[in-house]
Chain A
């Protein structure tokens, strides 16, 4: 039934003498929405950034749709097209307006016609309630608007999986809802999502599975409700006490 989309095998990552990830192994199924929670400095973001090789693992391998991304002769650019990523700091291209931000990838990489890319971009902008902002530049947008556009930009590449690196952490509280709303809709379409987040409500209610990453290892990994209702790991229990 289920199909493995990403398999992580014995992943370790060190920055100098600091080991951030220690021998992590796990798998992600197609269509799964997985939240990764844990204290800061626990390695959540590093783990996520290893999945599309924005960080190069020190050892171990990452299989994406059967290909070992860390293998020799792998064209990472090709695979990254299928792995969308949404950043904490949005990272919209500051030198392009919204429409160009959205169509650059589809047109230049996917060789889609400019007209078709614009049409699709506009349809999605409509969906996230920003159809009137297509000519705006990033500096003219609020954080929440930027992040919704960043999600659309990533989605327009038709990725097989989308990675979210603390997508709401840089937002003002009143804007968090609009971004989570978009992510929730995305989850309902069946998109495979891996989300590093501090939004415990999102983890519990939207994601099917939650991973507690702490001190460089997966300390607990369960269906979300179970993890939140019956945490076993002691550090998870104290973490949940602090954040809930």
Chain B
């Protein structure tokens, strides 16, 4: 009972902390998914390319990113790159821009690799006969892809893609280590001020859950709509 009261109290008194954290988490996640998807599409195309060097570079990138911890990638970009003179500029009217930029770059580079694999496996899961039938009628590779393969691939891709989105929201908590004021960071602030770690963390967990739950429901609804079409 007291626990719930404490939660209520923390929410009341430190709501601006949590709200700020949520806002920053959503900004990071949204940009990362957006950029990750954009570059992931190109990465997937390169990965399936018949041109050897492209394919090799994409494969190496994807394997390397998926095989190393996001934490290392993030630290590498934020602490490592400045050592060799590569820094993110500060922009006066956006507070903390260089941190945000590093966080978003690391998250989207990471997400890009996963999205590329999702797209590739989604396309390759479409029966080869579909492409062959389209080609045998006289459609070009591009036309066959657009008309027959991709519409079917989207149905394979969407569920995994939704998972990726949810994963990005959760994994974004890691950017707190480079001092971005995301939900996790702000939760730590609240703990530092109040020494009430358990209720504060419970609040953070609930908020994360609410965000992932809402987004996965939205994606599930989109999927259902696709299946009806």
Contact = CB atoms under 8 A, between A and B. Distances in A.
Interface of A: 52, 54, 77-78, 80-81, 83-85, 87, 89, 91-96, 104-105, 108-109, 150, 153-154, 157
Contacts of B135: 54, 77, 80
Given A54-B132, A80-B136, 6 more contacts: A83-B136, A91-B130, A93-B147, A95-B148, A105-B139, A108-B139
A78 B151 CA distance: 24
B139 A77 contact: yes
Contact-size category for B: 10 to 19
Given A87-B129, A91-B132, A104-B147, A157 B152 contact: no
B147 A105 contact: no
Interface in B96-153: 127, 129-130, 132-140, 143, 147-148, 151-152
B136 A52 contact: yes
Contact of B133 (A77, A91, A95, A109): A91
A115 B140 CA distance: 24
A81 B132 contact: no
The majority secondary structure among interface residues of chain B is helix
A87 B151 contact: no
A91 B129 contact: yes
Contacts of B139: 77, 105, 108-109
Contacts, number: 59
Contacts of A105: 137-139
8 contacts: A78-B138, A80-B137, A85-B133, A91-B129, A95-B148, A104-B147, A109-B138, A154-B137
Q: Which of B133, B136, B147 is the most central at the interface, judged by chain A CB atoms within 10 Å of its CB? A: B136
Nearest to B129: A91
B147 A89 contact: no
Contacts of B148: 93, 95-96
A196 B139 CA distance: 24
Contacts of B143: 108
A89 B127 CA distance: 10
B48 to A, nearest CB: 19
A85 B138 CA distance: 10
B77 to A, nearest CB: 40
A80 B130 contact: no
Given A89-B129, A104-B147, A108-B143, A94 B152 contact: yes
Contact of A81 (B127, B137, B151): B137
A83 to B, nearest CB: 7
B144 to A, nearest CB: 10
B137 A109 contact: yes
Given A93-B130, A94-B130, A108-B143, A54 B152 contact: no
Contacts of A85: 133, 136
* Residue with the highest number of chain B CB atoms closer than 10 Å, among A77, A85, A92: A77
Given A87-B132, A87-B133, A89-B129, A95 B152 contact: yes
Closest 8 CB pairs of A and B: A81-B138, A91-B133, A91-B129, A85-B136, A95-B151, A105-B137, A80-B138, A93-B148
Contacts of B134: 93
A221 B180 CA distance: 77
Contacts of A78: 138
A150 B136 CA distance: 12
B131 to A, nearest CB: 9
Nearest to A163: B136
Contact of B137 (A89, A94, A95, A153): A153
A105 B139 CA distance: 8
Contacts of A94: 127, 130, 152
A77 B140 contact: yes
